[in-house]
Structure 1
């Protein structure tokens, strides 16, 4: 059994040393770390090269001549991995010492699974836990409250993607399925991978917090209880509406949902054009669901408040937003 790590870096000098150390001191040894750097201008490359000296033949560094962006950079890193299991890694988190061991045991007990994701702690720029909330709270995956077995595919498509790439491990057999990963605005590599595998009912998860996920800079200042509550309310509103459990009760809610539905329509419509032939998910079908919901919200807006509906549409037209061809 050979184990790989696909790590993407970009100006990560502040935290990458801690991440490397956490990966290299696992209770089960990693065989290779494939690092794809997207044009760092700080000391990131120097730090990586120092680790290469300390751990010869373990770390492979690929420096991009042009900036690829996060999804295409992870595509490159994954494609260069040779392991039977591929762990995705950000540059600024910290792995718990038994992360690899726990995940490999999960695969051994559940051999039909093609990928697994986990929960995590939240830490700040000083590597300190600053909240009792978990990574799943941050991504609105209320696992303990959901009916089992959880329909992971429906959750990702209709509520929110809760699969954080930094916790994800893949079997090598699915590389051909998930690659290439298209470069679509706000449709990142982890969601792309999660949708493909969840559709096949081969996505698993561990409730244990196996990484410390770092929230720093603007991220940390944005993670407040009020923001979390507002986002949670938005995702709950969307999922209840699209699954037929509830209807928006105000012009504001209709308008909010219309914006969300249109963004998702465009995202999945674009994905339907970018997905290679034979990709298992029908993104066009998902896009049409969101388009239908967008139109229903627009009808509700028009009926509830024609005056605001007129001026919202006029404003959208002037700004070129939410215009259907």
Structure 2
């Protein structure tokens, strides 16, 4: 079973090595890591090329496309049987890959989502559970997940055969991870949740995603656009 790790980067030179080191030691030689850099202004790309050479497949966007399009590109380039999504500034626990793969095999999952430790930039634990910290309800269904996304991309892995269901990402969606979860629900794919924290989810104030609280009007518009994407989904 070949693994593809899909990672989007942007100005991550201070974090990327510790993340990739935590991943590579869990992979087989024929597994792949696909990194799409969204036009970093720092040395992220050079650090990765100098440190890992051809072990990492590096693609650089000609212009800044944002996280959704960068992940779409990485997913479309992946050739593995199981695709893991990955952010640049977290750290995987040593048993993440093995535990997730076991869920696919033992529970016949299509999408696997796990919990994570919430830590600060010095790895001090802020909460032992992201789902508790973020008040997530993983079983809330389609409408509930439109109102409040409970699925975080960095904690996701899915079978290759759902790629054709989720891509291309609709232009109106707010988040790629929310869309992947919604499509799996609509297609009645088997979603397995692992309660064990399998990574350190770093909240240091400089994260590219998941920090800013948006105004209510922006939230409402975003949800309406997501509803539009769901209503127009033809699968």
Same fold (TM over 0.5): yes
Q: 1:114·1:170 contact (CA, 8 Å) conserved in 2?
A: yes
TM-score normalised by L of structure 1: 0.64
Which residue in 1 is equivalent to 2:50? 50
The 2-side partners of 1:110 and 1:38 are apart by 35
Tell me by how many angstroms 1:47 deviates.
Answer: 1.1
The 2-side partners of 1:218 and 1:49 are apart by 23
Which residue in 1 is equivalent to 2:122? 126
Which residue in 2 is equivalent to 1:117? 113
Considering fraction of residues, name the structure with more helix: 1
Which residue in 1 is equivalent to 2:60? 63
Alignment of 1:6-17 (within 5 A): 6-17=6-17
Residue of 134, 137, 146 corresponding to 1:139: 134
The 2-side partners of 1:47 and 1:153 are apart by 40
Residue of 158, 165, 171 corresponding to 1:170: 158
Alignment of 1:259-278 (within 5 A): 263-269=222-228, 272=231, 275=233, 278=234
The 1-side partners of 2:168 and 2:144 are apart by 24
Identify if the C-alpha distance between structure 1 residues 152 and 119 changes in structure 2 by more than 3 Å, giving closer, same or farther: farther
Query: Is residue 89 from structure 1 mapped to residue 55 from structure 2 by the alignment?
Result: no
Tell me by how many angstroms 1:81 deviates.
Answer: 0.7
The 1-side partners of 2:75 and 2:15 are apart by 22
Tell me by how many angstroms 1:6 deviates.
Answer: 0.3
Deviations 1:246-270 (A, max 9, x none): xxxxxxxxxx7x9865652244226
Which residue in 2 is equivalent to 1:301? none
Tell me by how many angstroms 1:74 deviates.
Answer: 0.2
Considering fraction of residues, name the structure with more strand: 2
Query: Is residue 205 from structure 1 mapped to residue 193 from structure 2 by the alignment?
Result: yes
Q: 1:16·1:92 contact (CA, 8 Å) conserved in 2?
A: yes
Tell me by how many angstroms 1:52 deviates.
Answer: 2.7
Tell me by how many angstroms 1:126 deviates.
Answer: 2.0
Tell me by how many angstroms 1:198 deviates.
Answer: 2.1
Identify if the C-alpha distance between structure 1 residues 2 and 270 changes in structure 2 by more than 3 Å, giving closer, same or farther: closer
The 2-side partners of 1:183 and 1:167 are apart by 23
Alignment of 1:245-284 (within 5 A): 263-269=222-228, 272=231, 275=233, 278-279=234-235
TM-score normalised by L of structure 2: 0.87
In angstroms, what is the RMSD of aligned CA positions?
A: 2.5
Query: Is residue 99 from structure 1 mapped to residue 58 from structure 2 by the alignment?
Result: no
Deviations 1:115-163 (A, max 9, x none): 111100011122332x2352112331256xxxxxx454343134x2111
The 2-side partners of 1:25 and 1:119 are apart by 21
Q: Secondary structure at the match of 1:42?
A: coil
Q: 2:111·2:189 contact (CA, 8 Å) conserved in 1?
A: no
The 1-side partners of 2:171 and 2:224 are apart by 16
The 2-side partners of 1:13 and 1:175 are apart by 29
Q: Secondary structure at the match of 2:8?
A: strand
